Structure 1
Amino acid sequence: MIVSTLFLSLLLTFLSCVQSEVVLTQPEAETGRPAGSLKLTCKTSGFDLSSSYMHWVRQVPGQGLEWLVYYYTSSSNNYAPAIYASKDTSKNIFTLDMGNLKIKDTAIYSCAMQWSGYFDYWGQGTMVTVTSETPSPPKLYGLVSSCQEHNTSSEIFGCLVVDYSTDVTKVTWKKGVELIRTGLKTYPSVRNKKGTDTLSSQLTLPESAVDCPSKIYCEVQHSGSQKSKEMSCLDCTWIANYEDDNSIIWTTASNFITLFFLSIFYSAAVTLVKVK
């Protein structure tokens, strides 16, 4: 009995460790055109893809979840041949191929892994937009914390992505050619009256990591193309020098003004004595 209990405990511990390593990674957004095709990817890790039941599920905005397809060793789905799934076990990628796209296919598409009879693990979902509009590329504006707001412990960079149509796939930051992975915060997009979107992304770097000679880049992927905005940290040492110079100037000026008024007072006093 003790041995059985110990074995069961070890088995549950092992399974929980295996489960905690499961990761399903999807791109944030993809754009397709009516009657066109699109391939969605789901990068997997932490389990054996070849022997796992995998699913694709979608959710149209304002509606509930809709199951599309499962795949183990062969595909079975509701929409063949327009939609079908496949596994690339050499790269640990689960894919969904969609053909003859329609506007109504606009939805969030999520991959899921079936572990114990349920959809236990999910990808974060890919927002698929099917549109006949010609994608409008974004305008990029760089923002750097001003010297008046300069914090000696950090430097803040902002990237404003303005007036784009269809979803931005990804916003990334680089220092030179090196990808930055920490200190990032990207805010949800907002749609304006013109029907275009705007979003912003923020990067906070410790002052020791800024290294002013290096350039900071905000890069945006949009409808298969990429745009980049270059930024530089501000050299705020001029403020200290400016303040020191101003201090000297104002001290000299105040001394001069004091002497000027003293000379006037002295001249008036001498004139008054002579008159008397």
Structure 2
Amino acid sequence: MELSKLIDTSNKESIGKHYLSKGVSFAIKKEFGKSYEFFKEGIDLLTCDCPRGGWLDPYKNVGKALFDDLNIRHESHLEYYFVKAYILSYENDLKELYLSLDAIDRYLENKNDGYGQYVKGKILLALEKPQEAINCFNNAYSFTNHHILQYRIGRTKEQFLEEYGLGDLFLSFLNNNTSVCCARNLKEYSKRKGIILENNDDPNNMLINAFLIEEDEWDFQYFFEELIEDRLGNNLSPYDKSNTIIFSYIKWIIANSDCFLEEDLGDSEADYDDYRYNHPYSSSHSNPYYNDSLDMDQQSPEFWDNL
């Protein structure tokens, strides 16, 4: 998919993975400064940096000598250590994971920022240290409130710590509704918590019904992906079937915000207030095509084009 098409459709998840793939390409060429910048750009945009989509595949064809510290030939070691830590964080081997941890610690010794804390959290999670991991994600959150952190915090709470993380997942999805991984986790942990949602406004919406009825959350994710891909693959009008299904689903998620946030107040509640007053579904949004005398179903095609 061309980058321009992804940008036109505001697909943050795919744009982010495009940048991650560029980061891998530059790492393989040992241009670690450029790789570092592209990895940061990707992390800034997307919600789930799992290797789905194949962006990490080129690394698998390169020998581990890529990260042989004795062969460093570039001036700045800082970017090298970050790139090494980030790529090795996807390994399963304990030795590689501890090499990854050592690399990010070296990076953080010189530059303590949200990117480094996030990567360290990922590594600790892979090492089955979820409490230490979430501490790092929270440390990263003190530097930036990127939705990738909301996602990781919410998922870690739910998956590993038996804490309430649906509010974090909900806010992360609102900030980037092209993340099908986040949507899947929101569905999975809503179901596990026994949260009852209803679909009274759009009973024929297949995506809402898949969220509510589909037993396998992965089947729900695959269906959501198909809708997004269909939206990307065509020059769609705002009233195209795929667009209509997706936007109606997002409206429904927003309408059920209390179900996700009711047990997870505090900072998350403040974040949601900020979201409501700045989101396209709010009349105060900067979209010049929004008509606050109309409800959402009556907005012009230009409004939907500019979401």
Q: Which has the higher helix share?
A: 2
TM bucket normalised to smaller: under 0.3
- The answer to which structure, 1 or 2, has the higher relative contact order (CA under 8 A, 6+ apart) is 1
State which structure, 1 or 2, has the greater radius of gyration over its C-alpha atoms. 1
Q: What TM-score, normalized to structure 2? A: 0.20
Q: Which has the higher strand share?
A: 1
